[in-house]
Amino acid sequence: MTMGQQAHAEHLENDLLLASGDGDQFLTFILAGEEYGIDILRVEEIRGWSKTTPIPNAPSYLKGVINLRGTIVPIVDLRERFHLEHLDYGPTTVVIVVRVQTERQGRVMGIVVDAVSDVYKFKSIECQAPPEMGSNVDARFVQGLATVDDKMVILLDIDRLLNMEALTEILSSNA
Amino acid sequence: MTEGAYAHSNSQRHCGGVNGVNIDINQFVQSFLEESFEGLEIMESQLLGLKDDADTETINTIFRAIHSIKGGAGTFGFREVAEFAHGVETLLDQMRAHKRSVNPELVKLLLEANDCIRDLLIASRDGVSLNAQHIDRVRESIDELLQGPASADKAAPAPVAPAAVATAVAVSNAAEAAPEPEAEASPAPGAVTGFRIHFVPEHGILRTGNDPLRIFNALADLGELSAHCELDQLVPLDALEPEECLLSWQLVLKTEAPEAKVRELFEWVEDECELVIEALAAVPSADTVDALAEPAASAEERLDAPEDTGVADVHPDTVSDDGPTQDEIPAPKPADTRATPVAETAETAADTPTAPEHVASSAKRPPADTPKPDLGQARSTERRGGGESGSIRVNTDKIDALINLVGELVITQSMLSQIGEKMQNQENDACLEKLFEGLTQLERNTRELQENVMSIRMLPISFAFNRFPRMVHDLSAQLGKQVELRLSGEQTELDKTVMEKIGDPLVHLVRNAVDHGIEPPEARSQAGKSPVGVVHLNAYHKGGNIMIEISDDGWGLNRDKILKKAVEKGVVAADQHLSDEQIFDLVFAPGFSTADQVSDVSGRGVGMDVVRRNIKSLGGSVEVRTAPGKGSTFSIRLPLTLAILDGQLLQVGGETYIVPLVSIVESLQVRANLVKSVAEHNLMYRLRDEYIPILFLNELLGVPGTRAKLHEALLVVVETEGQKAALVVDDLLGQQQVVIKALETNYRRVEGLSGATILGDGSVALILDVAGLIVLGRQHSERHHQQKDAATAHTEAA
Amino acid sequence: MAKILAVDDSTSLRQMVVFTLKQAGYQVVEAVDGQDALQKAKATQVDLVLSDVNMPVMDGITLVKELRKLPAYKFTPILMLTTESGDDKKQQGKAAGATGWLVKPFNPDQLLATVKRVLG
């Protein structure tokens, strides 16, 4: 952790102490050593990796679709989405099934992550990703930052992250 | 009422919270539209069947339909519809009262009016403008009829004064346009501070459920009310009829409300009472007792002349002789007059079995079902949903069947989990056997459940058929032909979506049958046929399909004429040898039905090729059988539902794909000498006389691996919309029915795919869209050319 | 809260009436025609009947007559929902024993005001 980040974390912790009332709960997961969080209310279920059926002409991070109790659910590999090194799927590889809300409809999608970490309740969230964060994550997808026991957790805005238009945009530029 | 309450359909109808409830009546508009379209369907079919004046039940049914539409239209803000419907309703009311005779012109006018109302509704719903001229013309015709003598062929003159009708219309308009009376009528500027009301109800007033106390309560809401009860008509207790109200009242109401408002509260009992309302002069906070005293005296005066009160059974003697004192009277206050009836009511209520299941069962009955058994056809039309609404009315039996099935499924599931627990503890064969038993049961339940859920989307084909009586009626009149339309198999069910899409092709085929199939009456007579031609629409199930046949007993297709025309149009070569069947099939060829076939009725640029294409796009087929001089039959075969498809499973790379069986022409081993290379990358396959583009599925679908070796692969020849393609696949796996799942639900539409399905092992297989694949193939080869061109250019530059 | 029987063969109008009444806290029983209403009225005692006049199977006027024959409904308020052109219907309704009427078209506020007037 850099000095700047430490200072930032302390700042956040102060916020945590000062804030009152209940915060939102977040499910966190690990991706390439970093911890990310998503709103737990959006999580439908957590399941192990299973073989997907590839979708033609889709971006590479869209691993295909699976059958989730009769619905066809697309699976997005978050490592590939964040342009991180690909990791072979193993026993700990986990798919978090989330509900994504768009203007027109709700969608159910799965995200592939290295492992699920914990559930936290954050009382305060720093809203802007600091520039020195040095993460691989596009700042657009970051809802905010929070700290737990000196660890920084990047809270993702899954609606933006899994926005179909954005996914499609990348698709058409690929084509 | 807020102003918006009668605004046009597209604006907000909102009713503000005078009573603390806020209700947006827009939410009922969909329902209103649906039932109005249904009502119009009923009206139309009943009008077409209307023979004469004696047909009172039919006239009544039509009247009720238009009456409901008018009522709803007024309520939900479709003012134009309400006004238009009013005239129609008046006509029907006259017919109902035998003041106007049924005649073809009248029926025709009513049918036109029916169309106008439909147009007005659709225009309001969609917020579009419409052909006002036509509507005005029909409206004028109706007005003319209403203003003229009711019926020329009736001996009795029209008892309905035209003025009365006009007034009624005016009233309805005024009622809609004018705000609430109290909103405008401010208290008189004079010194009216209230009213003195003398209220002598008839004895039977309670029998209409009118309780004077309620009126007083309502009056008290307007201001300060004091009441004085007059007991002078009371009879001795033993003679007292508990159901009669023998009291009368003197009331003083101090209020700023206008007299109209006060009178309104007595509106329902006007005919059942003697009522005198006098404005009170400005007696500044006069003693109420004083105010009461004087009118009490005048009431006594009135009693001297009982005939004026309109009360026959007054017994002044009894009252004055041993009239009960106030203490003895059990019911001196209006509230108490209700005591006995209330008790009785309670008792009866207690005796009546509460029977909740009774209520439930009658509540289950779909409201639109008419219990009249003799209206078979009307009933089916009645359930027709209006327009393209996304909702569907479902027979409750179907829902009940589903509920039962889900119940069984739950039982099976719990049974299986119990066995699972047992097996964990002790493995033995008996458990295993039970498990398989349970699994079999689960499979059966699941399949039945699926079938039942599917059936919810199923509607009887009468929904598509019911437009034809009118259409054939109008068409044959227009063409000077005599045509009888026969419908059969109307209860045959098919998927709602298929139904919506088959409408236009059916219309085309029926028009064709009337226009081109059936001969004019003279020609028929000359040929020794009945002058009345028959067009027969028939539907039935066959396998997993629904068959719809449109037959006529007319000319039949002319083989030579078709061939000649096809050659002229360049559809076939002059020297091509064709079987009769192939020749008749030419009527579906693109470019065949054009120009000289265009008439007022058929034609319009829509040819039979479009009919075939539309049917094919639904996964169906259409063919024709004909016999010269005897007529033709067009047979349509359609899948029962679009949610299930008969698929061929293919293997490409390691993946399984599904191609709709209906689009497969044939599958074949590749013969190398039949593969032709067009450009370097584009291969064609020669299939008899045709060259068919070869599509490498693994390339188009991005399946990893290199281009399949053609000599090891299979070709699946597919066809859609007249285009063929040969798909290169590794293997054919088998055929099965698959349930189509949309990819759009959680992802997006994908070019070349029509959806996905779940295979028996739980994995997902993608369903190929043949038309999309052909497009993909074209794009693919174009891109390849561009790349090659670029590469060539690069090489040349270098 | 009072229980009201709402009778109309028109689904949309019945829906509006039922919804409005329920919003105002009344209990509501629905019926699609006079026959249906009569059965339901026998099954459950209601405090007020609101009925359309023109209905298939059994019309509103007949319904009123039939209800008044029942001891339990001798004095129950019955309001007819009539159209503005239905003056004769008002009279027929009154003669049959109806308490009063509400003229169509009406809006939710008018409906509630009228109901309140009858039920207090």
Three-state SS across B380-448? HHHCCCCCCCCCCCCCHHHHHHHHHHHHHHHHHHHHHHHHHHHHHHCCCHHHHHHHHHHHHHHHHHHHH
Which residue in the block uniquely carries the two structure tokens 């169906």?
B620
What was the pLDDT predicted at A4? Answer: 46
Higher-pLDDT residue of A156, B158: A156
Question: A74 CB near a chain B CB, below 8 Å?
Answer: yes
Kindly state the tokens that stand for B39: 């009502």
Percent of chain B topping pLDDT 90: 12
Q: Confidence band (pLDDT; 50, 70, 90) for A165?
A: low
Indicate the domain borders of chain B.
3-179, 185-310, 396-456, 460-639, 644-792
User: Mind listing the pLDDT tens digit for each residue in B682-720?
Assistant: 888 988 888 899 999 988 888 876 666 777 889 999 987
What was the pLDDT predicted at C86? Answer: 61
Question: B697 CB near a chain A CB, below 8 Å?
Answer: no
Q: Confidence band (pLDDT; 50, 70, 90) for A97?
A: very high
User: Mind listing the pLDDT tens digit for each residue in B752-763?
Assistant: 898 999 887 788
Tell me how crowded residue B783 is: count the other CB atoms within 10 A of its CB: 11
Q: Confidence band (pLDDT; 50, 70, 90) for C78?
A: very high
Of A132-141, B190-199, B542-551, the poorest mean pLDDT is in A132-141
Higher-pLDDT residue of B509, B233: B509
Pairing state between β C48-52 and C3-7: parallel
Chains that touch A (3 or more CB pairs under 8 A): B
User: Mind listing the pLDDT tens digit for each residue in A137-163?
Assistant: 677 788 888 877 778 888 888 888 887
Kindly state the tokens that stand for B383: 């359930």
CA distance B787 to chain A (A): 13
CA distance A36 to A152: 9
Residue B178 in this model has a pLDDT that exceeds 80: no
Query: Number of folded domains in chain C?
Result: 1
User: Mind listing the pLDDT tens digit for each residue in B491-521?
Assistant: 888 888 888 888 889 998 999 899 889 999 9
Q: Confidence band (pLDDT; 50, 70, 90) for B791?
A: low
Q: Confidence band (pLDDT; 50, 70, 90) for B98?
A: confident
User: Mind listing the pLDDT tens digit for each residue in B128-138?
Assistant: 777 788 888 88
Give which of A110, A119, A8, A137 is closest to A51, Cα–Cα. A110
User: Mind listing the pLDDT tens digit for each residue in B615-661?
Assistant: 887 878 898 999 988 999 999 988 877 777 889 999 998 889 999 98
Kindly state the tokens that stand for B304: 């001297």
CB B557 within 8 Å of CB B632? yes
Torsion from C-alpha of B213, B218, B223, B226, nearest 10 degrees: -10
CA B75 to each of CA B130, B171, C15, C16, C105: distance values in angstroms, whole numbers, following the listed order: 22, 15, 12, 10, 5
Give which of B710, B616, B610 is closest to B660, Cα–Cα. B616
Q: Confidence band (pLDDT; 50, 70, 90) for B202?
A: confident
CATH annotation of B185-310: 3.30.70
Q: Confidence band (pLDDT; 50, 70, 90) for C5?
A: very high
CB B755 within 8 Å of CB B742? yes
What was the pLDDT predicted at B446? Answer: 82
Query: Which one-letter DSSP state was computed for residue A53?
Result: B
Q: Provide the ipTM.
A: 0.85
Mean pLDDT, to the nearest integer, of B159-163? 41
CB C31 within 8 Å of CB C75? no
Query: Residue A106 — φ and ψ, nearest 5°?
Result: -95, 145
Angle at B219 between CA B218 and CA B222, to 5 degrees: 100
What was the pLDDT predicted at B796? Answer: 56
B603-611 CB contacts, 8 Å cutoff, 24+ apart? B606/B508, B608/B508, B608/B512, B610/B505, B610/B508, B611/B505, B611/B508, B611/B509
Q: What is the CATH number of the domain that holds C115?
A: 3.40.50.2300
Name the most confidently modeled range: B118-132, B297-311, B639-653, C66-80: C66-80
Name the most confidently modeled range: B374-388, B578-592, C42-56: C42-56
Question: B290 CB near a chain A CB, below 8 Å?
Answer: no
CB A94 within 8 Å of CB A116? yes
List, as one string, the DSSP characters of B294-351: HHHHHHHHHHHSHHHHT-----HHHHHHHPPPTTT-S--SHHHHTHHHHHHHHHHHHH
Kindly state the tokens that stand for B381: 């039309």
Q: Closest chain C residue to B176 measured between Cα atoms?
A: C105
CA distance B612 to B592: 12
The mean predicted confidence, pLDDT, of chain C is 88
Kindly state the tokens that stand for B89: 């309703």
Size of chain C in residues: 120
Report CB contact under 8 Å: A56, B741: no
* B contacts of A51 (beta carbons < 8 Å): 763
Nearest by CB to B743, from A66, A70, A72: name it. A72
Q: Confidence band (pLDDT; 50, 70, 90) for B530?
A: very high
Diameter of chain A measured on Cα atoms = 51
Nearest by CB to A65, from B703, B751, B764: name it. B764
Higher-pLDDT residue of B13, B682: B682
What was the pLDDT predicted at B402? Answer: 83
Q: Confidence band (pLDDT; 50, 70, 90) for B522?
A: very high
The secondary structure of B759-792, three-state, reads CCCCCEEEEECHHHHHHHHHHHHHHHHHHHHHHH
Task: From the options 3.40.190.10, 3.40.50.720, 2.40.50.140, 2.30.30.40, give the CATH code of B644-792.
Answer: 2.30.30.40
User: Mind listing the pLDDT tens digit for each residue in A21-71?
Assistant: 456 788 999 988 889 999 998 999 999 988 899 999 888 889 999 988 878
Residue B82 in this model has a pLDDT that exceeds 70: yes
Domain containing residue C51: 3-119
Query: Which one-letter DSSP state was computed for residue A85?
Result: P
What was the pLDDT predicted at A108? Answer: 92
What was the pLDDT predicted at A37? Answer: 92
Query: Domain B460-639 belongs to what topology?
Result: Heat Shock Protein 90 (3.30.565)
Tell me how crowded residue B762 is: count the other CB atoms within 10 A of its CB: 11
Higher-pLDDT residue of A43, B435: A43
User: Mind listing the pLDDT tens digit for each residue in B600-617?
Assistant: 444 444 578 888 888 887
Higher-pLDDT residue of B450, B517: B517
Mean pLDDT, to the nearest integer, of B412-438? 77
The secondary structure of chain C, three-state, reads CCEEEEECCCHHHHHHHHHHHHHCCCEEEEECCHHHHHHHHHHCCCCEEEEECCCCCCCHHHHHHHHHHCHHHCCCCEEEEEECCCHHHHHHHHHHCCCEEEEECCCHHHHHHHHHHHHC
Q: Which residues are bridge partners to A67 per DSSP?
A: A72
Element at A6 (helix H, strand E): helix A3-18
CA distance B733 to B736: 10
Angle at B554 between CA B550 and CA B557, to 5 degrees: 80
In three-state secondary structure terms, B264 is: helix
Kindly state the tokens that stand for B697: 């599925």
Torsion from C-alpha of A143, A145, A147, A150, nearest 10 degrees: 140
CA distance B89 to B68: 10
User: What residue type is B29 in one-letter code?
Assistant: V
The model carries a pTM of 0.47
Q: What is the CATH number of the domain that holds A120?
A: 2.40.50.180
Class of domain B3-179: mainly alpha
In three-state secondary structure terms, B186 is: coil
List, as one string, the DSSP characters of B699-756: HHTT-SSPPPPGGGSEEEEEEETTEEEEEEESEEEEEEEEE-B-STTTS---TTEEEE
Chains that touch B (3 or more CB pairs under 8 A): A, C
Q: Confidence band (pLDDT; 50, 70, 90) for A94?
A: very high
Q: Which residues are bridge partners to B693 per DSSP?
A: B684
Q: Confidence band (pLDDT; 50, 70, 90) for A169?
A: low
Residues in C 53-82 with any Cβ partner in B closer than 8 A:
54-57, 68, 70-78
Residue B793 in this model has a pLDDT that exceeds 80: no
C6-17 burial: b if 16+ Cβ within 10 Å, else e: bbbbbbbbbbbb
* B contacts of A70 (beta carbons < 8 Å): 741, 758
In three-state secondary structure terms, B182 is: helix
* A contacts of B764 (beta carbons < 8 Å): 52-53, 64-67, 72
Question: C22 CB near a chain B CB, below 8 Å?
Answer: no
